[in-house]
């Protein structure tokens, strides 16, 4: 078997007294689409940031295609494309300008027109970022994540805040990523079920369960993935962790 695209072993990260990622281990095979599913505050985004080398872990180890994203930062960034949650772009630049700028960062980028067609933004090429709709901005951020022909793509909360039609278009785009290894962070069951080969259920900074959607449903003796999530993590989706809220 090939080496894994991503391997995380006993990853830990804390911010002050808050433990964001606590002994998280994960293996993502090349070419697969892995979903990371969890409530808000479960540590999904921190996990992504550790994989992308945007933060250094406090403990444990992570590799992307065998490289350490923190120490071999430059090498990892050439093979990794990310779409980050809540990250904006230069708002006065147009779609085409942004795509060209991001393409210029990589040694052998995808052609601009190919990228724009892939995410259906050819018509908006001269539209400034600040004037794009939420769905268009998200699609642009996918195009930028794919600009450098990455081997591994991380998509963080891809469809959060989009209307049902825009969500389906995003899914269609992700379904075209057949060459790449994709890590899809989400808290939407239907999305993960439709797009992912395997799903990691994350709770309190750990992987609570990992398997294909069907396996997880079977293991939990549940009717669907939604119920399996509840059984396997003891949590309800779409709500933040309330544990430390107003305890007194």
Partner 1 sequence: MTAHTAATPVRSPARPGVRSWLLLAVCEAKMVIRDTAGLIVPFGLPLLILVMSASSASEAVVTGGRTALDIYVIPLVFTMVIGLIGIVNTPSFLSAYRRTGVLRRLGATPASPVMVLVAQVAVGVAQSLLGIAVAFGVAVAFFGARPPIDVPAALGALVLTVAVMFALGMVVAAVAPTPNSAVAMGLVAYLGLGALGGMFGGKESLPEGVARVGEWLPFGAAVDALSSAWAGEGVAGPHAAVLAATAVAAAVVAAVFFRWE
Residues at the site binding partner 1, with contacts judged by CB under 8 A: 52-54, 74-75, 77-78, 80, 82, 84, 86-93, 97, 100-102, 104-108, 128, 144, 148
CA–CA gap between residue 69 and residue 54 (Å, rounded): 8
Query: CB 80 → partner 1: shortest distance, Å?
Result: 8
Query: CB 175 → partner 1: shortest distance, Å?
Result: 23
Residues with Cβ within 8 Å of 89's Cβ and at least 6 positions away in sequence, in order, are: 98, 129, 137, 140, 141, 144
CA–CA gap between residue 60 and residue 127 (Å, rounded): 44
Residue closer to partner 1 by CB (options 10, 127) is: 127
Query: CB 72 → partner 1: shortest distance, Å?
Result: 10
Cα angle value 97/101/105 (rounded, 5°): 165
Conformation bin of residue 146: beta by default, left when phi > 0, alpha when psi is -120 to 50: alpha
Residue closer to partner 1 by CB (options 150, 213) is: 150
Residue closer to partner 1 by CB (options 185, 220) is: 185
Query: CB 169 → partner 1: shortest distance, Å?
Result: 22
Cα dihedral 81, 83, 88, 92 in deg (nearest 10)? 60
Query: CB 213 → partner 1: shortest distance, Å?
Result: 28
Residue closer to partner 1 by CB (options 72, 224) is: 72
**H or E element in which residue 10 lies:** strand 6-15
Question: Is the Cβ–Cβ distance between 123 and 87 less than 8 Å?
Answer: no
């Amino acid at each position: 078997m090939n080496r894994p695209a991503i391997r995380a072993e006993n990853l830990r990260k804390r911010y002050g007294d808050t433990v964001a990622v606590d002994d998280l281990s994960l293996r993502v095979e090349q070419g697969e689409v892995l979903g990371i599913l969890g409530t808000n505050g479960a540590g999904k985004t921190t996990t992504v940031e550790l994989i992308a080398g945007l933060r250094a872990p406090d403990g444990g180890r992570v590799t992307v295609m065998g490289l350490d994203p923190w120490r071999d930062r430059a090498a990892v960034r050439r093979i990794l494309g990310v779409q980050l949650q809540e990250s904006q772009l230069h708002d006065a630049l147009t779609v085409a300008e942004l795509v060209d700028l991001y393409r210029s960062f990589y040694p052998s980028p995808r052609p601009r027109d190919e990228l724009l067609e892939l995410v259906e933004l050819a018509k908006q090429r001269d539209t400034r970022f600040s004037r794009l709709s939420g769905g268009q901005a998200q699609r642009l951020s996918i195009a930028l994540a794919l600009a450098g022909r990455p081997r591994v793509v991380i998509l963080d909360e891809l469809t959060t805040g989009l209307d049902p039609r825009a969500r389906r278009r995003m899914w269609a785009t992700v379904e075209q990523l057949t060459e790449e290894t994709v890590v899809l962070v989400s808290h939407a069951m239907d999305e993960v079920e439709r797009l992912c080969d395997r799903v990691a259920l994350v709770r309190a900074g750990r992987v609570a369960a990992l398997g294909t959607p069907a396996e997880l449903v079977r293991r939990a003796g549940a009717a669907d993935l939604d119920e399996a999530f509840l059984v396997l993590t003891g949590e309800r989706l779409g709500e933040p962790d309330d544990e430390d809220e107003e305890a007194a």
